[in-house]
Structure 1
């Protein structure tokens, strides 16, 4: 009886060993975690800053309500750029699309610049006082590290890293000096010109 049990155990162990030695092709293939050759960027020290690009200060003491159109002068110019601190195989526009996804904003492509000429701004002035009419955007920047998908199984650091800067669509507006505006808004940055 003992010999039969021992023989049965040996048969079971041999069967398990045989299964372990079967070619890997018979086992279920591992799922790929990424597309081979694709790249991704990780971001650090990302910031979004409202930035005034054009402004003009005017005073309204004529009484009543008027609509005023002014030529706002350039005070800041922004350029969308990607700088490689190390490595060279970086697509600037791909990096900026990645940065846009990180901050949830639609950013301008590499090489784009904010308007370098005067901006025509129309605003309705309803009260007496000093006004600032302005145009601006949200400046976004961050530091990236590039990774490449290796055979679909892991992300490998390419050694390419650097800085990206871009901006969003232009927004214009006007404010009467002394008016309360939301903190962090474009208008709050325009108040410094009052």
Structure 2
């Protein structure tokens, strides 16, 4: 009888130890921090700037005043491209749209989310001049670029690097005429035109 009780006690002790060991093993795996299989893009560095894509033309002489609509044809000078490059495996599950949308969220402005480039054609710019002064007609775009790293959630406990590369994109066309002496935003394309030509 004592022998049976000893065996039973030993068996119970082993089961109890096993039950205690299970939570310890699970805890060592770490807490869940993400949904398994999901992907995210992180940016190591980003940059955004203003670029004049066509030549800048001034009104032939200082405008004498009064309201008048003027049109100038500006020739193409610079092409901007949009897209991304990847190293570490193009099959890592990161799309052009996902990367460019993420870049958009990290810089000022609204940018295109597809691969492509700006027009190489000459463009006509029309603006209404009202005040006396020297005017400059321009066409430009905002450009964004950066270096990205793509991560995949592994079993919900950690982010694993899957790919990395560069991306660049551009915003919608901005055109018009700026008058020397007028007040414009320091973040605008008109500001760099005024700074370079006035």
- TM-score range relative to shorter protein: 0.7 to 0.9
Contact 1:50-1:137 within 8 A present in 2 as well: yes
Mapped partners of 1:36, 1:63: distance in 2: 66
Deviation track 1:73-104 (CA, whole Å, cap 9, x = no partner) reads: 22322110202255433422221111112225
Check 1:83–1:18 CA distance in 2 against 1; reply closer, same or farther (3 A cut). Answer: closer
After the TM superposition, which parts of structure 1 deviate over 4 Å for at least 4 consecutive aligned residues? Answer: 16-19, 21-24
Identify the residue that residue 114 of structure 1 maps to in structure 2.
118
Q: Count how many residue pairs are aligned between Structure 1 and Structure 2.
A: 178
Alpha-carbon deviation of 1:40? 1.1
Unaligned runs of 5+ in 1: 1-13
Identify the residue that residue 48 of structure 1 maps to in structure 2.
48
Alpha-carbon deviation of 1:150? 0.9
Identify the residue that residue 97 of structure 1 maps to in structure 2.
101
Q: Structure 1-normalised TM-score?
A: 0.75
1:168 paired with 2:165, answer no
Alpha-carbon deviation of 1:121? 1.6
Contact 2:138-2:193 within 8 A present in 1 as well: yes
SS at match of 1:115: coil
RMSD: 3.0
Identify the residue that residue 9 of structure 2 maps to in structure 1.
none
Contact 1:85-1:163 within 8 A present in 2 as well: no
Unaligned runs of 5+ in 2: 1-13
SS at match of 1:108: coil
Match of 2:131 among 124, 127, 131: 127
Mapped partners of 1:92, 1:151: distance in 2: 25
Check 1:112–1:150 CA distance in 2 against 1; reply closer, same or farther (3 A cut). Answer: same
Identify the residue that residue 83 of structure 2 maps to in structure 1.
81
SS at match of 2:134: strand
SS at match of 1:74: coil
Contact 2:64-2:133 within 8 A present in 1 as well: no
Alpha-carbon deviation of 1:107? 2.0
Check 1:34–1:80 CA distance in 2 against 1; reply closer, same or farther (3 A cut). Answer: same
Alpha-carbon deviation of 1:37? 2.1
